[in-house]
Structure 1
Amino acid sequence: MNPWSAAKSWLGEMVNASRSSELVDVHAHFLTDEYVAAAITSGIEHPDGMPLWPSWSIDKQLAVMHDNRIRHAVLSLSSPGVSFAGQADAPALARHVNDFAAKTVAGHPERFSFFASLPLPDVDAAIVEAARVIDSHAAAGVILMSNHSGQYLGDAALDPLWECLNQRRSIVFVHPTSPPDADAVSLGRPRPMIEFMFETTRTITDLIFAGVIDRYPDIRFLIPHCGAALPLFAARIEQFRSVWPAPNGDPPGPLRTEDQLRRFWFDLAGYPMPTQAAVLRDVVGSERILYGSDFCWTPEFGVGKQIAALDADPSTDWRRVTSENARRALPQVGGQPQT
């Protein structure tokens, strides 16, 4: 074999090896029978306007991971979270799902980590639970809904929680849920289709305008679904932010909206190809983009279809890029956290 042929062969092997990288899934959801029963008892038979609750088991999760070459998954409880249980019962429900997740991780430490659920809008109870699961149960971070009983994440009442999470350099996975008065705006359609995208955009914009990103720089915020509409609306949001006073009346902070977005982490859950992933990459770069399946709310065939589209993208080796990023974002997969 001549040197040029040998070089091409070596390059081809390197490309194939790169694209065979095992994924780290930061957006994988679990359910328990007790949790679903509590939700149905509260009247949530069609969560977020969906026709039914999906089923989940550890065996199903591991099978999806095996079939799609996913090495590690960070489990979390999706919408509607635990707030529906009310202030009296939400803390116990949060403890239940978090203890279940911690037990699952303990049984499969190489395969799973978890983001803990918090019983907001009760800030005091949320702080107690955050400290418990991060300090004693090794939670990788917490998952917060885009709003909790109408309270969005820029609300000043949440400042003590942000202080708690900032001290622990926690990941905060911001997951969309139904907006207040969802029936009036969803027009009878499932809210994950459109309303979830607006919810993510709304609550992250609220965080930016409230100055949370500047005041708590050691929190690592993770935004799903390619940032929803944020990459598209960044310039429009900045147009208003640049003239909008800070909550204390001071002039707007110096960091432009796009600069603040580059401090977030993002996942590729949903249908990122061919448009959303490219737009997100153009706006924030590829250094903070992670992989997410959204299983079990995305069924097995949907997970496979999404990964096939990512693997077929000639412009980016998403397996390599997202896996390398995960090593920096998540200590559990062998890297060090980056602010």
Structure 2
Amino acid sequence: MHAPCCSRRRFMGVFSGLAAAAALPGCQHVPAVSTEPGAVGAAGAAAVGSRIDVHHHFFSPKWVQAVEKRNALQPVLGFDHFKNWTLDRDIEVLDRDGVEKAYLSVTQPGVWFGDVKESAYLARDLNEHGAGMKEKRKGRYGLFAVLPLPDMDATLREIEYAFDVLKADGVGLLSSYDDKWLGDPSFAPMWKELNRRKAVVYVHATAPGCCSWNYQPGVLPTIVELSSDLARAMVSLVHNGVANATPDVRFIWSHGGGSIWAQRFLVGETVQSLAQEAPLNSRLHHFRRFYYDTAAAADAVHMGILKMIVPHSQILFGSDYPWVEPARIAKGLEQSGFTADELKAIYRTNALKMLARK
């Protein structure tokens, strides 16, 4: 077990990786859209007000301060995304890029820095901040609440508060916490409660302690490690029986599922079953019932692989704003071989159906 994510090196790796999100393969081929107020790219103009973004980050001032304090020794590349973000600017981008509603979630490093009380405090602060955004701009935002994992008592309290008081739309998790992936037995009480509530669970990738900074010199963690950690989380859920035990949880995996499609964990089943229905509770069954967003995967290669495994009904529009703007993802999707009806479903109707189901 490594020390909690609180060293200067770890934080530099996390935020440098985030700043490099636009350099991932899913975004390299897509030209940047204009950031001038009122400028709408072709992809934005094509469907104004028709998109639902399930991968959209937000920041509270107290959370930004907590992160900044841990990086005081040296400036962190990409940190301006946090410091310069405002609600008004966020709404401008939604309007310009044709996004009707964005579901808010925290990004890495989340709220776990090794202190249980601080983690619970920051999770509550972020959740109340997100609920305030929903109230100020009615109909424009949903909230995937932050949970103070790995502390289970605080997590169960926050689930109750987030759903019953703040009326959150789901929860947003990271792929691992302190080198414990989401299928770890210690998280079982959380999964029992989330399944009871038939919750939406959005999972964002992070980098584990081993591999967050300079693991491969010159290669930022966004290039390999985040996608790999997402795959580890997915394998842990299925292999450890959590997926079987949570049939009523609606999982959304960021970044098109990351590198799970390159894992041998699925090879045998997919080769034999691509053209037929997967047996109940098989690995392939679960990977086909999961949902996947398009952030850092909006290109013909990533989407082509995803479409081989899952129906387009399981693909949801996600941008990773403020690192990547929604119109940029839309343009990539429009070059990925989808029909007009499939794009309409990915942009909007898939999310409406999934999020409305109880």
Q: Which segment drifts farther, 82-91 or 176-185?
A: 176-185
Partner residue in 2 for 1:125: 154
Q: Is the 8 A contact 1:232 1:279 kept in 2?
A: no
What's the % identity of the aligned pairs? 29
In the alignment, structure 1 residue 265 sits paired with structure 2 residue 258? no
1:154 to 177, 183, 189: 183
Counterpart residue identity of residue 36, structure 1: V
Q: Distance in 2 between matches of 1:109 and 1:44?
A: 36
- Whether 1:86 aligns to 2:115 is yes
Amino acid at match of 1:52: F
Give CA-to-partner distance per residue, 1:110-150, whole Å, 9 cap, x none: 11011011111101100100111011111111111111111
Equivalent in the alignment of 2:38:
none
Q: How does 1:1-339 map to 2 (within 5 A)?
A: 22-43=50-71, 50-54=77-81, 55-84=84-113, 86-181=115-210, 182-183=212-213, 185-233=215-263, 236-238=264-266, 255-298=281-324, 300=325, 303-317=326-340, 318-322=342-346, 323-331=348-356, 336-337=357-358
TM-aligned CA distance change 1:92 to 1:315, over 3 Å: closer
The structural deviation recorded for 1:184 is: 5.3
Correspondence for 2:14: none
Instruction: State the AA in 2 paired with 1:212.
Output: V
Partner Cα distance (2:249, 2:134) in 1: 23
- The whole-number CA distance in structure 2 between the counterparts of 1:158 and 1:205 is 15
- TM-score normalised to the size of structure 2? 0.78
CA distance in 2, matches of 1:207, 1:118: 18
Superposition deviation, residue 183 in structure 1: 2.8
- Deviation digits for residues 256-306 of structure 1 (CA, Å, limit 9, x no counterpart): 3221101111111114211111211110111111000100132x4xx4322
> Any conservation in 1 of the 2:303–2:336 contact (CA below 8 Å)?
no
CA–CA distance in structure 2, aligned partners of residues 212 and 328 of structure 1? 24
Give the stretch that moved more between structures: 28-37 or 96-105.
28-37
Which segments of 5 or more consecutive residues in structure 2 lack a partner in the other structure?
1-44, 271-278
SS in 1 for 2:101: strand
CA distance 1:208–1:46, change in 2 (3 Å): farther
Query: In the superposition, relative to structure 1, how do residues 269 and 62 fare at CA in structure 2: closer, same or farther (>3 Å)?
Result: same
Aligned to 1:8: none
Contact kept in structure 1, 2:53 and 2:101, CA below 8 Å: yes
Paired residues, what number?
301
Relative to 1, partners in 2 of residues 1:21 and 1:106: Cα closer, same or farther, differing over 3 Å?
closer
**1:254, distance to aligned residue in structure 2 (A):** 6.1
The 1:241/1:37 distance shift into structure 2, 3 A limit, reads farther
1:29 and 1:297 in contact (8 A); partners too: no
Check whether the contact 1:166–1:218 (CA below 8 A) recurs between aligned residues.
yes
Hey, what's the Cα distance between the residues in 2 that align with 1:184 and 1:225?
22
Shift of 1:160: 0.4
Please report the RMSD computed on the Cα atoms of aligned residues, expressed in angstroms.
2.5
- How many angstroms apart in 2 are the aligned matches of 1:329 and 1:44? 42
Work out which structure has the larger RCO, using CA pairs closer than 8 Å and 6 or more positions apart in sequence. Answer: 2
Structure 1 residue 81 displacement after superposition: 0.4
Quick one: distance in 2 between partners of 1:324 and 1:45?
46
Separation in structure 2 between the aligned mates of residue 44 and residue 310 of structure 1, nearest angstrom: 39
Q: TM-score, normalised by structure 1?
A: 0.82
In 2: Cα distance, 1:189 partner to 1:312 partner: 27
SS in 2 for 1:287: helix
The separation in 1 between residues aligned to 2:54 and 2:77, in whole angstroms, is 23
Larger radius of gyration: 1
Given that 1:35 and 1:93 are in contact with CA atoms closer than 8 Å, whether structure 2 keeps it comes out as yes
- Partners in 2 of 1:223 and 1:46 — Cα distance? 32
CA distance in 2, matches of 1:26, 1:293: 8
Partner of 2:37: none
* Aligned-residue offset at 1:177: 1.0
Taking structure 1 as reference, are residues 202 and 45 closer, same or farther at Cα in structure 2, changes over 3 Å only? farther
TM-fit CA distance, 1:50: 4.6
Gaps of 5+ in 1: 1-16, 243-252
